[in-house]
Structure 1
Amino acid sequence: MQVKGSIAIVTGAASGLGAATARVLADAGATIAAFDLNEDGAKATADELGGVGYGVDVSDAKSVETAISKVVETQGSPSILVNCAGILQGERIVGREGPADLDAFARVINVNLIGTFNMMRVAATAMSRNEPGPSGERGVIVNTASIAAFEGQIGQAAYAASKGGVAAMTLPAARELARHGIRVVSIAPGMFGTPMVTALSDEMQEALASNIPFPKRLGDPAEYGRLALHICENQMINGETIRIDGAVRLEPK
């Protein structure tokens, strides 16, 4: 994928992995459409990068359809989608107060898994109408899984299930969208310095970093962004979930 001159949609773009990825892609010459439930945050990122920000609920069909239509009308048809929007919910299946909250479980699935699919289905439809490049490529979709998809910890049933679903649909989506010249790849990050983590105490952050074999630190969101950029540029990466985690493997708790 030729990133320079492309229209790139990035979800979760108000902060963390999404904001960092938007900056990396913009530096490579892409025009950014920043999506986030936090509309002010999305617009702040977009303003910084010369793009356009949109308030979008990725789990809502109409919200996504409307926003992508606006991107096509005002910026052009997207050829890159990076899905970084997500939420974390920690709760034991059987807790001190009884069974886990089913609505809370469903919300994590709705945002992390259904939201990813929702963005993918609408963006891929738009990409399928693009003029193909010399190799027939029309677009690339990068989804965010997690190492919790493979080593989910106690209390992470909802989060692990949602990210496991993202990883599981990577290959069938890549196979299906190949006829349209669209690649699908997922990234499974480990422990990164996102707002969910940096809100913890310094002691907690140090404890998390101490379990990482090398480098013994939290990941920089820009490192995720640079991997997303490489995926966009390397056509042979397709249908795969790539770990970026410093060789850490999560313990049960």
Structure 2
Amino acid sequence: MDLTGTLAIVTGAASGLGNATARLLAERGARLALIDLREEGMANLSQESGGLSISCDVADASASEAAFARILAVCGVPRMLVNCAGIAPGARIVDRGGPGSLVEFERIVRINLIGTYNWLRLAAAAMTGNVPDAEGQRGVIINTASIAAYEGQIGQAAYAASKGGVASLTLPAARELARHGIRVAAIAPGLFATPMVEAMTQEVQDRVFDVIPFPKRPGRPDEFARMVLSIIANPMANGSVFRLDAGLRMQAR
């Protein structure tokens, strides 16, 4: 897919993986629509790229529908959606006070899984009206899962469940949207140098990074962005979750 002049929506664009992805897409000629709750993180990128930025809760149906309508009115129909919006707080099933918080579990699943599905459904519906390219393709949707979907650690039950949902969503979504020429894939990153990881104590970071096979370091957000470009460029990348983890298999803690 030629990115020049094509519209890409990136959620979670204010920082981390989403910000790096949006920047690389812009460098390759794509037009941007940026979505995040934090306006300040999108301001510079929006000004640099000439893209549209909208503050929005990705899991709020009415707010997202209004944001998407604005994208259509101002920018047109997207050919790419990259869902990077997400959170990763620890949430124990049983904590010192007894049962863990159901509210916190719901919050994590709401943002990570429901937010992903919410923007997938909006983008897919719009993409069905795109003129197909030479491959018959009308759009590409890339979601962000996590290796926690497969090897969630203690304290990650909610996060792992939410990202497991994103991983499980990939194939049925790809199968359903295939008749419209829309591909759906996901990336399951390991440990990346994002605000989520940087929030860990140095002791925890050192312990976790020590078990990464090679390269023995956290991934860089631009490396995630390059994987996004690889999936966009390869028509055969469809219906799969691609691990991007330097060979890491997470331990229980």
TM over 0.5: yes
The match for 2:78 is: 78
**Pair 1:190-2:190 in alignment:** yes
**Pair 1:160-2:160 in alignment:** yes
The match for 1:45 is: 45
Distance of 1:7 and 1:176 partners within structure 2: 23
Secondary structure at the aligned position of 1:103 is classed as: helix
The match for 2:179 is: 179
CA deviations 1:204-228 (Å, max 9, x no partner) are: 3332221100000000000000000
- Opposite residue 144 of structure 1, the aligned amino acid is T
Distance of 1:62 and 1:43 partners within structure 2: 23
* Cα distance, 1:2 vs structure 2: 2.0
Distance of 2:201 and 2:109 partners within structure 1: 28
Indicate the percent of aligned positions where both proteins have the same amino acid: 56
Secondary structure at the aligned position of 1:64 is classed as: helix
**Pair 1:252-2:252 in alignment:** yes
The match for 2:6 is: 6
The match for 1:90 is: 90
The match for 2:222 is: 222
Distance of 1:150 and 1:85 partners within structure 2: 20
CA deviations 1:175-203 (Å, max 9, x no partner) are: 00011110000000000000111233444
Distance of 1:68 and 1:211 partners within structure 2: 42
Given that residues 187 and 242 in structure 1 are in contact (C-alpha distance below 8 angstroms), is that contact kept between their aligned partners in structure 2? Answer: yes
* Cα distance, 1:42 vs structure 2: 2.3
Secondary structure at the aligned position of 2:177 is classed as: helix
Q: How many residue pairs were aligned?
A: 253
Distance of 1:101 and 1:129 partners within structure 2: 43
The match for 2:212 is: 212
The match for 1:112 is: 112
- Could you say what the CA RMSD is over the residues aligned between the two structures, in angstroms? 1.0
The match for 2:135 is: 135
Secondary structure at the aligned position of 1:242 is classed as: strand
* Cα distance, 1:56 vs structure 2: 1.1
Instruction: State which drifts further: 35-44 or 2-11.
Output: 35-44
Secondary structure at the aligned position of 1:135 is classed as: coil
Distance of 1:64 and 1:37 partners within structure 2: 11
CA deviations 1:98-157 (Å, max 9, x no partner) are: 001001000111100000000000011111111111121000000000000000011101
Gaps in structure 2 of 5+ consecutive residues: none
Instruction: State which drifts further: 21-30 or 195-204.
Output: 195-204
- Opposite residue 127 of structure 1, the aligned amino acid is M
Superposition TM-score, scaled by structure 1 size: 0.97
CA deviations 1:34-83 (Å, max 9, x no partner) are: 10011232233222322111101100011111111111111121000000
Distance of 1:39 and 1:134 partners within structure 2: 37
Distance of 1:48 and 1:200 partners within structure 2: 31
The match for 2:31 is: 31
Instruction: State which drifts further: 122-131 or 46-55.
Output: 46-55
Superposition TM-score, scaled by structure 2 size: 0.97
Secondary structure at the aligned position of 1:81 is classed as: strand
Secondary structure at the aligned position of 1:169 is classed as: helix
Secondary structure at the aligned position of 1:43 is classed as: helix
Given that residues 81 and 140 in structure 1 are in contact (C-alpha distance below 8 angstroms), is that contact kept between their aligned partners in structure 2? Answer: yes
Distance of 2:84 and 2:124 partners within structure 1: 16
